[in-house]
Amino acid sequence: MNWSDFPRETVKCMLCGHDEPEILSVQRSWPVARCSHCGFIYLSSRPVESALEELYSSEYYDNADVGYGGYVENFNRYNSIFTKLFNRRAQDIEPFRGNNRLLEVGCAHGFLLDHLRAKKWEVKGLEVSPLAAGYATEKLGLDVYCGKLEDAGYNDNAFDVVLLLDVLEHLHRPFETLAEIGRILTPNGVLVVQCPWELTHWEERAEAFLKKMKPCSITPDAVPAHLYFFGPETLEAFMKKGGFSTFRKQSGNYGAIRRHIKPPLVNKGHFYERWARFFYYRMGIQQLLYNSARLIGKGNGLIRYARFQK
Binding site for Zn ion (CB under 5 A): 13, 15-16, 18, 35, 37-38, 40
**Of 39 and 70, CB closest to Zn ion:** 39
Q: How far is the CB of 180 from Zn ion (least distance, A)?
A: 23
**Of 231 and 301, CB closest to Zn ion:** 231
**Of 14 and 178, CB closest to Zn ion:** 14
Residue 20: Cβ-neighbour burial (10 angstroms; 0-12, 13-18, 19+): middle
Reduced to 3 states (helix: H, G, I; strand: E, B; else coil), residue 275 is helix
Spatial separation of the C-alpha atoms in residues 119 and 272, rounded to whole Å: 50
What distances in angstroms separate CA 269 from CA 12, 18, 276, 277, one per listed residue? Answer: 38, 40, 10, 9
Neighbours of 120 (CB within 10 A): 9
Q: How far is the CB of 294 from Zn ion (least distance, A)?
A: 29
C-beta of residue 224 within 8 angstroms of C-beta of residue 43: yes
Q: What residue type is 12 in one-letter code?
A: K
**Of 111 and 228, CB closest to Zn ion:** 228
Q: How far is the CB of 238 from Zn ion (least distance, A)?
A: 10
Q: How far is the CB of 234 from Zn ion (least distance, A)?
A: 9
Evaluated on CA atoms 101, 91, 70, 26, the torsion sign reads positive
Reduced to 3 states (helix: H, G, I; strand: E, B; else coil), residue 166 is coil
**Of 37 and 148, CB closest to Zn ion:** 37
Q: How far is the CB of 103 from Zn ion (least distance, A)?
A: 30
